[in-house]
């Protein structure tokens, strides 16, 4: 058999695809939903904003990391054997094309169509007299008092500019009262001011009329410089390196170290400069010099530089016809009669495992379970991991109340959950104030596992109850992300969960687990073994099949194992929402591998792994993607679905439906390119079918 990696000629293609270009391809798929006329208008606007938010994080973390790598080694190459310098050029080219497509859609399609539907976003200067009078009054009463224009001269150096903040560079003519005429001023939009303002009904042109703060500032900027002439006023925004650096070997107190780093995150090294399209070359050059950036790092945009802030608009408008239809999450049919407010939930779980499929099924049982544990006299201990939970959380308040009620509450709070560090520090403080045991996991490893363990005294014995999940204990994202959660009283599985909590809070060597695969110790090895076992079954001439659903597939050893399994005859279906570095459908290498991506109304977040296993049909749910960091730099769980009926549910709802559907599925080819679905639409996806089957108590579970 020919090894495709042996060639070095012009047609040579590496065995793995590039991560950064894969991330941009994912955002191109998200933008396709914003372009889809079948998607409601306000949801299309929301997708445009999601792309901007995703690109922000891409530059803050991934591009910032590549720039650091280039500083250390100008000849560095990527894992897919691209010179890093060349990759940065490719990223710039593709990013610019994506941004241009995004703003063209926004300006030429969404803005006019929304206005026709009664939603107007005023950005320019085409205002009625009444609107201008109102805007001027608003500027003088709410904006002007908090502005601090900085005229640049030797006594007023260029100010520190916060990461992703809205700013203006102003070109001036004339001299001020002191005779200064530097010609340049900087105006920073204070963070206390809203970026989107609703116009009052008496001056609004349509039912829902909004104006951006940037438009107001541009219109009345002249008032900040009396006696001088504003000849140019341009929005700009700088994106900075936002990866926190904490030396794991030097840190003595992780919480204290992070608190010190959080403020500095706002002022990390600049990695991208966004300016409005009309900004002069002189001003762009001046800004590049101030931030130490090159032309490759500058992005001119035809509209607001802080487009992501428009994501507030859909939430400010009560227009159901312009949004996805609301839904009421349901409950699994087999527990609907049992899961009542006055029911003994521990008896329900002791009698059967309970599976929830969010967001189609409600997250409320998780809250009910924790609340029951917080007040039940028989409950002696509650243990939970927290990765992301939100600044306002009924779940966290319940943990605090449980500690007040005298329960032994132990919470493993991951302080390094990116962009949630401050929120988690605040929750840790509140938990400690009521006597809960708060630990921060293991230095050097993020605790990404999602686990809740309750210990209850029943007669002369203690019994454990567990909840394991693929997603975070975050009530809001449980309405937006697809995830599975499992309640179980299975003694062996609960013993595994307890053992993992012991590892996180205490000291000692890792013990063998009954069912749980855990990172960083056994998860990678078990996944590799399961793939190899499937390959051996295929080599023996028996049916073999692997289905894996995840957010990202990047780990090289797993990719090579999947290639080997494909060559042995294993049928492999991969459902990867985001970046997939595996190259499918390469003759002689990955003929039997299909890769698809589903982008829809909800963020695909579930991790589900299926191995045919000679007819045994093993199904696992996991907190981990198949990435190096998840296997080796994080605390992760991967747990089997042991109940036969629930296993069939996961296969039906989490895998088969996604393989069957083609109306909203993107298919990857051997070059790493995605063919769009024939009818790409968030309203024609497997998610829409699951809403029909599971939401509002309409599931067909037998």
List residues with catalytic annotation. Answer: 448
- The rounded distance, in Å, linking the Cα atoms of 299 and 235 is 12
182 in helix, strand or coil? coil
- Cβ atoms of 307 and 105 within 8 Å: the answer is no
User: How remote is the C-alpha of 295 from its chain's centroid?
Assistant: 29
- Tokens representing 65 are 């990391």
The CA distances from residue 205 to 200, 295, 599, in Å, are 10, 40, 35
Other C-beta atoms closer than 10 Å to the C-beta of 179 total 6
Q: What end-to-end distance do the CA atoms of the chain give, in Å?
A: 47
Q: Name the DSSP letter for residue 510.
A: P
**What are the tokens at 438?**
């708060």
Q: Annotate 324-388 with DSSP letters as a single string.
A: PPP---B--GGGTTT--TTS-HHHHHHHS-EEEEETTB-SHHHHHHHHHHHH-TTEEEEEEEES-
**d(C-alpha 306, C-alpha 196), whole Å:** 11
H/E stretch holding 686: helix 686-694
Tokens 């907190």 belong to residue: 623
Q: Identify whether the C-beta of residue 505 lies closer than 8 Å to the C-beta of residue 437.
A: yes
Q: Retrieve residue 79's tokens.
A: 């894992």
Which residue in 676, 42, 47 sits closest to 55, CA to CA? 47
Q: How many residues does the chain have?
A: 702
- As a whole number of angstroms, the distance between CA 221 and CA 618 comes to 65
Tokens for 45? 């606007």
Rg (CA), the chain: 27
d(CA 429, CA 434): 9
Q: How far apart are CA 138 and CA 404, in angstroms?
A: 47
668 touches 573 (CB < 8 A)? no
Residue owning tokens 């805007």: 135
Residues 309 and 675: beta-carbon distance below 8 Å: no
Q: What is the DSSP letter of 352?
A: S
Q: Are strands 618-622 and 634-640 parallel, antiparallel or unpaired?
A: antiparallel
Q: With left for phi above 0 and alpha for psi between -120 and 50, is residue 469 left, alpha or beta?
A: beta
Query: Is residue 410 a contact partner of residue 382, using CB atoms and an 8 Å limit?
Result: yes
- Measured distance CA(557)–CA(535) in Å, rounded: 15
CA pair distance 538, 619, nearest whole angstrom: 19
Residue 90: exposure state from Cβ atoms within 10 A (0-12, 13-18, ≥19): middle
Collapsing DSSP to helix, strand or coil, 13 comes out as coil
Give the C-alpha separation, 448 to 520, whole Å. Answer: 11
What is the per-residue burial (b if ≥16 Cβ within 10 Å, else e) of 213-242? bbbbbbbbbeebbeebebebbbbbbbbbbb
């Amino acid at each position: 058999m020919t090894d495709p990696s042996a060639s070095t000629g012009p047609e040579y293609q590496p065995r793995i695809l590039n991560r950064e270009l894969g991330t941009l391809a994912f955002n191109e798929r998200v933008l396709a939903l914003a372009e889809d006329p079948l998607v409601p208008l306000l949801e299309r606007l929301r997708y445009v904003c999601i792309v901007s938010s995703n690109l922000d994080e891409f530059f803050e973390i991934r591009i910032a990391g590549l720039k650091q790598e280039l500083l250390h080694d100008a000849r560095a190459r990527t894992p897919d054997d691209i010179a890093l310098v060349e990759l940065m050029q490719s990223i710039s080219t593709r990013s610019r094309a994506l941004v241009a497509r995004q703003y063209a859609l926004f300006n030429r399609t969404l803005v006019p169509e929304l206005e026709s539907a009664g939603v107007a976003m005023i950005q320019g200067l085409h205002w009625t007299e009444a609107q201008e009078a109102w805007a001027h009054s608003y500027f003088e009463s709410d904006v002007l008092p908090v502005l601090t224009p900085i005229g640049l001269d030797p006594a007023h150096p260029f100010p520190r500019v916060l990461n992703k903040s809205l700013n203006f560079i102003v070109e001036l003519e004339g001299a001020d009262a002191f005779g200064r005429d530097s010609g340049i001023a900087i105006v920073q939009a204070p963070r206390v001011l809203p970026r989107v303002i609703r116009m009052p009904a008496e001056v609004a042109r349509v039912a829902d009329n909004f104006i951006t703060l940037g438009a107001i500032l541009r219109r009345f900027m002249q008032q900040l410089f009396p006696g001088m002439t504003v000849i140019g006023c341009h929005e700009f925004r700088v994106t900075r390196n936002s990866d926190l650096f904490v030396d794991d070997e030097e840190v003595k107190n992780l919480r204290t170290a992070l608190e010190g780093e959080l403020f500095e995150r706002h002022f990390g090294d600049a990695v991208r400069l966004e300016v409005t399209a009309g900004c002069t070359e002189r001003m762009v050059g001046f800004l590049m010099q101030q931030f130490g950036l090159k032309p490759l790092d500058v992005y001119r945009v035809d509209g607001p530089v802080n487009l992501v802030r428009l994501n507030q608009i859909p939430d400010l408008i009560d227009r159901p016809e312009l949004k996805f239809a609301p839904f009421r999450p349901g409950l699994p049919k087999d527990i609907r009669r049992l899961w009542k407010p006055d029911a003994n939930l521990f008896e329900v779980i002791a009698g059967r495992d309970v599976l929830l499929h969010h967001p189609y099924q409600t997250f409320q049982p998780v809250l009910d379970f924790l609340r029951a544990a917080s007040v039940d006299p028989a409950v002696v201990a509650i243990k939970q991991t927290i990765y992301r939970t939100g600044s306002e959380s009924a779940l966290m308040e319940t943990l605090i109340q449980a500690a007040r009620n005298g329960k032994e509450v132990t919470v493993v709070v991951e302080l390094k959950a990116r962009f949630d560090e401050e929120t988690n520090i605040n929750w840790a403080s509140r938990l400690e104030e009521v006597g809960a045991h708060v630990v921060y996991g293991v230095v050097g490893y993020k605790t990404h596992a999602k686990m809740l363990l309750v210990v209850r005294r029943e007669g002369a014995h203690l019994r454990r109850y567990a909840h394991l999940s693929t997603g975070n204990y975050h009530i809001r994202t449980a309405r937006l992300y697809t995830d599975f959660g499992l309640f179980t009283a299975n003694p062996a599985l609960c013993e595994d969960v307890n053992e993992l909590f012991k590892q996180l809070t205490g000291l000692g060597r890792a013990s063998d687990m009954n069912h749980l695969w855990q990172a960083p110790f056994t998860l990678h090895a078990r996944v590799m073994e399961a793939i190899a076992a499937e390959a051996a079954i295929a080599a023996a001439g028996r049916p073999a099949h692997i289905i894996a659903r995840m957010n990202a597939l990047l780990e090289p050893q797993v990719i090579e194992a999947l290639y080997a399994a494909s060559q042995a005859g294993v049928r492999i279906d991969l459902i990867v929402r985001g970046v997939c570095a595996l190259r499918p459908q390469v003759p002689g290498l990955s003929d039997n591998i299909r890769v698809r991506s589903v982008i829809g109304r909800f963020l695909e977040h579930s991790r589900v792994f299926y191995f045919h296993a000679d007819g045994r049909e093993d199904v696992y749910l996991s907190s981990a993607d198949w990435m190096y960091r998840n296997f080796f730099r994080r605390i992760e769980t991967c747990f089997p679905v042991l109940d036969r009926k629930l296993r069939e549910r996961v296969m039906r709802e989490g895998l088969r439906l996604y393989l069957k559907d083609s109306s909203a599925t993107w298919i990857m080819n051997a070059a790493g390119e995605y063919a769009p679905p024939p009818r790409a639409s968030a309203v024609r996806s497997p998610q829409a079918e699951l809403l029909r089957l599971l939401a509002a108590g309409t599931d067909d579970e037998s």
